Chains A and B, each alone.
Chain A
Amino acid sequence: MTIALYRIDDRLVHGQVVIGWGQPLKAGFIVLVDDAVRASPWEQELYRMGVPPHVELISASVAEAVARLPEWDADPRVGILVAGDVATAAALTGNGHVVKRINVGGVHHRPGRTERLRFVYLSDAEAAQLKALAARGIEVSAQDVPTARAVPLAEFT
């Protein structure tokens, strides 16, 4: 099997990830890539509370995730990987690892960002970073839940 969903979502592991995507994909593990959460066992436990017992939640720093991506891709279970921002997702596509698709699932308003879709706000630099990923052959689309239409990158940048 492989990581079935590479998702950018600033809420990290929450209902849309666990229920919305996790159920139809029959996910067996979720990788949460966030340096701050990785450094806090207490926060990791909070996120674990929202995950069913049969789904493993793996917390990883960006550096750990880059190193372990091949291992997760070879896992016989279906996996979901969640990164909190565009920069983190971009970091995971380096180092020779092949990521075919990136799902922009939820990037909310912050100063410097403008609304691109109801659930996607991006700064110009973030939009450019996503376009750079697309230029490398990665299919980038925005889709909060599986039943919604996947909006191609060109429509929101």
Chain B
Amino acid sequence: MSKPLRGVIVSHAGVSAALVAAVESIAGVSDALVPVSNAGCDRDALFKNLAAAVGDSPAVLFIDLPGGSCLTSAATYAHGRPELAVVTGVNLAMLLDFVFHRELPPAEAARHAAAAGNRAIRALDT
């Protein structure tokens, strides 16, 4: 049996760990997501932490911003590896979608989660 799809959240400061905790508290899923912070890391160190978090599982890498050190490390790591996919602009809604769609191939799970994350962004008139 192949390894289950893993979500790796790569963020500035403690955002990734906070998102993992939030998903756990809402969905009760505790084995799907791994946080990686760029705190104190140069590009090489972040790359190594990312590799350790992914391990040998297929994974979707959720990045906080669509640019910067988290994205450059993650995109470089995932480049040319079809068992990995990358999504930027991570939010809670996309992660909640992801943890319930881990049976999908990485690229499809990434697109599905990104769509859920996009749908969650609204500007409300008050």
* A-to-B contact residues, CB < 8 Å: 10-15, 18, 42-43, 46-51, 106-110
Shortest CB-to-CB span from B65 to chain A, Å, is 6
Residues of B within 8 A of A (CB): 12, 38, 40-45, 65-69, 71-72, 75-76, 79
A18 to B45, CA, bound (A): 21
- Given A43-B76, A46-B75, A11 contacting B42 (CB threshold 8 A): yes
Our count of residue pairs bridging A and B at CB distance below 8 angstroms stands at: 55
Task: Provide the residues of chain A in CB contact with B72, threshold 8 Å.
Answer: 12, 14, 43, 46-47, 50
Are B42 and A50 within 8 A (Cβ)?
Answer: no
In the complex, the answer to whether A18 meets B41 with C-beta atoms within 8 Å is no
Residues from chain B with Cβ under 8 Å of A51 in the complex: 67
Q: Are A108 and B41 in contact (CB under 8 A)?
A: yes
Residue of A nearest to B12 (CB): A15
Determine how close the nearest CB of chain A comes to the CB of B43; give it in whole angstroms.
6
Q: Are B67 and A49 in contact (CB under 8 A)?
A: yes
Complex Cα–Cα for A106 and B40 (A): 9
Q: List 27 A-B contacts (CB under 8 A).
A: A10-B42, A10-B43, A11-B38, A11-B42, A11-B69, A12-B43, A12-B69, A12-B72, A14-B67, A14-B68, A14-B72, A15-B12, A43-B76, A46-B67, A46-B72, A48-B67, A49-B66, A49-B71, A50-B67, A106-B42, A108-B40, A108-B41, A108-B45, A109-B40, A109-B42, A109-B45, A110-B45
